[in-house]
């Protein structure tokens, strides 16, 4: 066990009385990392770990299998090469004992060094990357840790490639050039690093310095960029109304096609299309991404389900609550955009209407609950296939609309005095600050009940853990709103298949449950050759437009190299269009709820 400082002093004094020094074994172990990239064009990081004071016959070091915030086992150990260890200049025996663990034997040496290389050529917010232009480190995919000492502090020295002059990270400086410290492996892993010649911009929000590290040289009005980001950040602060920051870093990769964002304790990485800033829609999309990832510094990084920290880096960390952590963050990020004035109230309602359409027109919404979607994220959300829309629902989309309905119910129950923001504040104070842990599923429901003044057990049972259609109309009515539902005309057919065009071929990419193609036996992967004897060179959906419900189509397809005919009747479309509209002559109570939910920026 670890000895406290008074115990150490007592042991040291006893050693003096006995005429010899206290055993060296009592010295606390230390850990230092060095990160180098001497040939960045080869896409390799070189890592050295100096482990001192490890008084055992062997030490196991591990590479995580996943990156917190991205719920998929990615097997980062697959990119490790050249693992070795030395002590006093002599090679030590090592062996790999499982997929992500290496054992270093050092029976006669308490101080030793581990070195290895990591191939890093996947530029996403979840992985690491290095090339001739820059390097990006997402900690869990590059840094190993001593298996029995994951929570020990460490020091990191970064050695940028020749010609690079910038290192951007939320880790705190430790003295020396490009040298940083972390209090635990969790902190090191949760502090991404951008290395190169990125451009740096700064602003202050809520009294806290914020840094923006931009890679990719986009054409952007930097004054507008920092001004609008500041506005988003300050509005986000108002939700929880607690400031846990003393610094914050945005790492922004401007590339051909953005891939989203990933949250961290004192930073985030955003992957953005370099052309996103050139249109108003693109600009608002960028700010929406900023709002989402920034709000995660509360929701997930501090207000979190109990399963999400401290992390087990060896395997999946299961929770039913990603609909709150991710879907709830998407809900709040859109509210933040509205409250900050980047969306009008009607613009927000239009966006929420689109969210309802996505949920209610996805067949998997009737199969998988929001809680199950959260739990199965590890095997479904990041591993979709051609049938996913029939069997699963996004916890982002479902969580967003659950958040809207629940928020309206809380506002109505409290006569406009409380809202979902107050639930987040309670969770922050009670679990993050007071208890220092995450919350359970039941504790989340208790928090909602405490703020609203009553329990919502039936709501959670039917709409969160069940697959019933949310009571949109009831909730919207509280705010003087109405959900218009317009079914597709009964005379309009729907093939129920998604067609992909590539290299002059029309191929079935997806089939909708219970639709025409599903019932008729059209398969994903079928290449469509002809329709009723005529060669098909365009999307089949376009070619069928205007045909009558019940009419029969005859398709010639190739399947597994064989040509065959598929014939089936065309069924009516079963989709609907949902739109939130204002009621005429709302009551004073309804106006109070709406004003609390969507306040107009002054």
Residues 518-577 pLDDT 10s: 999 999 999 999 999 999 999 999 999 889 999 999 999 999 999 999 999 999 999 999
Kindly indicate the confidence band of residue 4, based on its pLDDT and cuts at 50, 70 and 90.
Answer: very low
In the CATH scheme, what is the homologous superfamily, with its name and number, of domain 497-569? Answer: PDZ domain (2.30.42.10)
- Residue percentage of the chain with pLDDT more than 70: 96
Q: Write out the CATH class of domain 29-191.
A: mainly beta
DSSP letter at 326 equals: I
Domain chopping of the chain, boundaries:
29-191, 198-297, 308-486+584-602, 497-569
Q: Looking at residue 12, what is its pLDDT? A: 38
- Give CA angle at 320 (319, 321), nearest 5°: 90
Residue 7, pLDDT > 70, answer no
- Cβ neighbors of 179 (< 8 A, separation 6 or more) are 155, 156, 157, 158, 173
Q: Burial code of 159-185, b = ≥16 C-beta within 10 A, e = fewer?
A: bbbeebebbbbbbeebeeebbbebebb
Q: Looking at residue 587, what is its pLDDT? A: 97
* 499 closest CA partner among 486, 485, 510, 487: 510
**Under 8 Å between Cβ of 307 and 319:** yes
Residue 11, pLDDT > 60, answer no
Average pLDDT over residues 214-235: 97
Q: Looking at residue 210, what is its pLDDT? A: 98
Q: Looking at residue 502, what is its pLDDT? A: 87
Kindly indicate the confidence band of residue 27, based on its pLDDT and cuts at 50, 70 and 90.
Answer: confident
**Under 8 Å between Cβ of 481 and 583:** yes
Same topology for domains 29-191 and 308-486+584-602, yes or no?
no
Q: Write out the CATH class of domain 308-486+584-602.
A: mainly alpha
Average pLDDT over residues 565-591: 96
As a whole number of angstroms, the distance between CA 574 and CA 7 comes to 73
As a whole number of angstroms, the distance between CA 232 and CA 302 comes to 19
Q: Looking at residue 381, what is its pLDDT? A: 94
Residues 414-457 pLDDT 10s: 999 999 999 999 999 999 999 999 999 999 999 999 999 999 99
Residue 602, pLDDT > 90, answer no
The count of other CB atoms within 10 Å of the CB of residue 132 is: 13
As a whole number of angstroms, the distance between CA 114 and CA 104 comes to 8
Q: State phi, psi for 561 to the nearest 5 degrees.
A: 85, 0
Q: Looking at residue 26, what is its pLDDT? A: 58
**Under 8 Å between Cβ of 483 and 578:** yes
Q: Burial code of 274-312, b = ≥16 C-beta within 10 A, e = fewer?
A: bebbeeeeebbbbbbbbbbbbbbbbbbbbbbbbbbbebe
Q: Looking at residue 533, what is its pLDDT? A: 93
Residues 324-352 pLDDT 10s: 999 999 999 999 999 999 999 999 999 99
Reduce the DSSP state of residue 179 to 3 states and report it. Answer: strand
Q: Looking at residue 176, what is its pLDDT? A: 87
As a whole number of angstroms, the distance between CA 296 and CA 264 comes to 8
- Cβ neighbors of 49 (< 8 A, separation 6 or more) are 31, 32, 33, 61, 113, 114, 115, 144
In the CATH scheme, what is the homologous superfamily, with its name and number, of domain 198-297? Answer: Neutral Protease Domain 2 (1.10.390.10)
Residue 233, pLDDT > 50, answer yes
Lowest-confidence range among 3-7, 176-180, 355-359, 518-522?
Answer: 3-7
Residue 462, pLDDT > 50, answer yes
446's tokens: 């208790």
Q: Looking at residue 490, what is its pLDDT? A: 86
pTM equals: 0.93
DSSP run (H or E) holding 328: helix 328-339
CA dihedral of 14, 20, 22, 23, whole degrees rounded to 10: -130
Reduce the DSSP state of residue 199 to 3 states and report it. Answer: strand
Residues 58-107 pLDDT 10s: 999 999 999 999 999 999 999 999 999 999 999 999 999 999 999 999 99
Q: Looking at residue 17, what is its pLDDT? A: 36
Q: State phi, psi for 334 to the nearest 5 degrees.
A: -70, -35
């Amino acid at each position: 066990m670890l000895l406290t400082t008074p115990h150490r002093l007592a042991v040291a004094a006893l050693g003096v009385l006995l005429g010899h020094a206290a055993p060296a074994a009592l010295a606390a172990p230390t850990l230092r990392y060095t990160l180098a990239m001497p040939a960045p064009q080869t896409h390799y990081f070189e890592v050295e770990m100096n482990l001192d004071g490890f008084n055992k016959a062997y030490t196991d070091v591990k590479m995580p299998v996943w990156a917190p915030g991205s719920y998929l086992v990615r097997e980062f150990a697959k990119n490790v090469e050249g693992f070795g260890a030395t002590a006093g200049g002599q090679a030590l025996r090592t062996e790999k004992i499982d997929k992500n663990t290496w054992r270093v034997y050092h029976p006669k040496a308490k101080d030793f060094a581990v070195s290895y290389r990591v191939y890093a050529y996947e530029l996403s917010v979840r992985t690491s990357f290095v090339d001739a232009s820059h390097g990006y480190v997402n900690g869990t995919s590059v840094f190993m840790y001593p298996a029995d000492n994951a929570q020990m502090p460490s020091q990191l020295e970064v050695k940028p490639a020749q010609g690079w002059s910038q290192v951007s990270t939320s880790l705190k400086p430790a003295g020396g050039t490009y040298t940083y410290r972390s209090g635990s492996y969790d902190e090191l892993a949760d502090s991404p690093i951008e290395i190169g010649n990125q451009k740096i911009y700064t602003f202050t929000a809520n009294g806290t310095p914020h840094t923006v590290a931009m890679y990719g040289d986009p054409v952007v009005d930097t004054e507008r960029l920092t001004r609008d980001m500041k506005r988003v950040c300050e509005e986000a602060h108002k939700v929880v109304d607690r400031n846990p920051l003393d610094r914050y870093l945005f790492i922004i990769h401007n590339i051909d096609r953005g891939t989203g964002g990933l949250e961290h304790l004192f930073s985030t990485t955003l992957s953005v299309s370099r052309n996103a800033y050139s249109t108003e829609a693109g600009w608002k999309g960028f700010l929406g991404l900023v709002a989402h990832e920034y709000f995660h510094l509360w929701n997930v990084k501090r207000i979190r389900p109990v399963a999400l920290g401290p992390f087990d880096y060896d395997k999946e960390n299961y929770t039913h609550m990603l609909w709150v952590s991710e879907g709830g963050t998407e809900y709040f990020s859109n509210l933040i955009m509205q409250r900050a004035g980047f969306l009008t109230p009607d613009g927000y309602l239009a966006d929420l209407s689109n969210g309802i359409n996505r949920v209610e027109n996805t067949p998997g919404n009737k199969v998988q609950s929001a809680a199950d979607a959260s739990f199965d994220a590890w095997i479904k959300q990041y591993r979709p296939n051609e049938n996913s829309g029939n069997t699963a629902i996004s916890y982002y989309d479902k969580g967003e609309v659950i958040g809207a309905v629940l928020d309206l119910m809380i506002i109505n129950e409290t006569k406009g005095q409380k809202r979902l923001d107050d639930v987040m504040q309670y969770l922050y104070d009670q679990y993050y600050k007071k208890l220092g842990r995450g919350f359970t599923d039941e504790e989340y429901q208790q928090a909602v009940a405490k703020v609203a003044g009553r329990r919502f057990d039936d709501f959670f049972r039917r709409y969160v853990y069940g697959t019933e259609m949310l009571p949109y109309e009831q909730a919207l009515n509280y705010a003087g709103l109405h959900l218009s539902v317009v079914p597709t005309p009964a005379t309009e057919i729907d093939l129920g298949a998604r067609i992909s065009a590539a290299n002059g071929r029309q191929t079935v990419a997806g089939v909708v449950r219970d639709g025409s193609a599903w019932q008729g036996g059209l398969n994903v992967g079928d290449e469509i050759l002809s329709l009723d004897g005529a060669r098909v060179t365009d999307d089949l959906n376009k070619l069928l437009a205007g045909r009558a419900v019940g009419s029969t189509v005859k398709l010639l397809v190739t399947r597994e190299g064989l040509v065959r005919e598929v014939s089936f009747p065309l069924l009516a479309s079963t989709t609907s269009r949902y739109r939130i509209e204002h009621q005429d002559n709302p009551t004073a109570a309804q106006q109070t709820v709406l004003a609390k939910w969507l306040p107009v920026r002054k």
